[in-house]
Amino acid sequence: MSTLGLRVATSALLVPLFVATILIGGIVFLAAVLVLTLVGTLELFLMARDKPYRARFVPGIGLALTLPVLLYRAPHDPLALTALLIAAVIGIATAQMLDPSGSEALASAAFTLFGAVYVGLLFAHLILIREIAREAAGLPVWSGAVLLGLPLLLTWINDTAAYFVGRRWGRRRLLPRVSPGKSLEGAVGAGLITIGAALVAVPGAGHLVPVFETADAVALGVLIAVAAPCGDLIESAFKRDAGVKDVSRLVPGHGGVLDRFDSVLVTVPLTYYYLKALVL
């Protein structure tokens, strides 16, 4: 089977399962996000296994998994989040202090803290959008599923369009130092397609959750068109530094969890804060 065929087959199996957890919401969706967070954190930590610094797996994974739970239980409790981060900093530093080798202490502690927050906190925003009805008066409980579907759908459209447009018309490299395979034509073409898709998808979602104005369709389209390739390039920079093509081979045809969700880790948090600041 070709790589494209394997991608399609894997997506046909896994996407409906993930969509089902979004529709169910609650603890079921939290569990799905925790699985993604666990695997994603492990992937990131293991990707740097040949580096002189080392991740502190126990406190790092503990922090990454606690962030989605905390934002599910207390999404707007700054004291709880601050206390968690302070405890994590102390725990990671203590684990580093107890390491018999004691080598690369600063780099190891910094990488552990960054990796846990990068994966855990950004994935947690999937939950914040899904459960947004709990903090927005008047919205039905299922509205979070619709609102979460928007950045996920538009990000997928952007990624797919960038691949096919770049493959057909790509000539100039977008950022060759980081990702030689990505083209300027692919990014621009995907951006225009994403904005066009938003002009259809956002009003469509507005029929179910009447909170959007016409300007929101353009704004969300532009936001995703810019943020999605940034997320992709951030992950590419990590992989290039680690000397790997894919973060892992867990998902046939797609690589690892971080390979599949690299753009989502940027688009979903930005969409959440756009919704909170300008829509709800």
Please provide the DSSP assignment of the chain as one string.
Answer: --HHHHHHHHHHHHHHHHHHHHHH-HHHHHHHHHHHHHHHHHHHHHHTTTSSS---HHHHHHHHHHHHHHHHH-TT-HHHHHHHHHHHHHHHHHHHHT-SS-TTHHHHHHHHHHHHHHHHHHHHHHHHHHTGGGTSTT--TTHHHHHHHHHHHHHHHHHHHHHHHHHHH--SEEETTTEEEEEHHHHHHHHHHHHHHHHHHHHHHHHHS----HHHHHHHHHHHHHHHHHHHHHHHHHHHHHT-SSS-SSBTTTBSHHHHHTTHHHHHHHHHHHIIIII-
**Amino acid present at 207:** H
**Is the pLDDT score of 64 beyond 80?**
yes
Least confident of 69-73, 246-250, 257-261: 246-250
Segments making up each domain of the chain, as ranges: 26-130, 141-280
- Prediction pTM value: 0.92
Q: Cα 43 vs. chain centroid, distance in angstroms?
A: 14
Residue with the bigger pLDDT between 146 and 280: it is 146
pLDDT at 141 over 80: yes
Taking CA 116 as the corner, what is the angle to CA 20 and CA 148, rounded to the nearest 5 degrees?
Answer: 30
What pLDDT digit, counting tens, does each position of 66-111 carry?
A: 999 999 998 778 888 889 989 999 999 888 888 777 678 889 999 9
- Band (pLDDT 50/70/90 cuts) for residue 8 is confident
**Per-residue pLDDT for 275 more than 80?**
yes
The confidence score (pLDDT) of residue 102 equals 66
Amino acid making up residue 274:
Y
The confidence band for 224, taking pLDDT boundaries of 50, 70 and 90, is very high
Judged against a pLDDT cut of 80, whether residue 250 lies above it is answered with no
pLDDT over 90 at 230, yes or no: yes
CA-based nearest residue to 155, from 119, 197, 185: 197
Question: What is the mean pLDDT of the segment spanning 240-261?
Answer: 82
Please tell me the distance from the alpha carbon of residue 22 to that of residue 84, in angstroms, as a whole number: 26
Closest listed residue to residue 151, CA positions, set 34, 53, 232, 271: 271
Q: Which of 69-83, 109-123, 194-208 has the lowest mean pLDDT?
A: 69-83
Radius of gyration of the chain (CA): 19
Pair of tokens at residue 245? 């093509």
Q: Which pLDDT score is estimated for 79? A: 87
- Cα separation, 131 vs 213, in Å, equals 22
Confidence of residue 135 (pLDDT cuts 50, 70, 90): confident
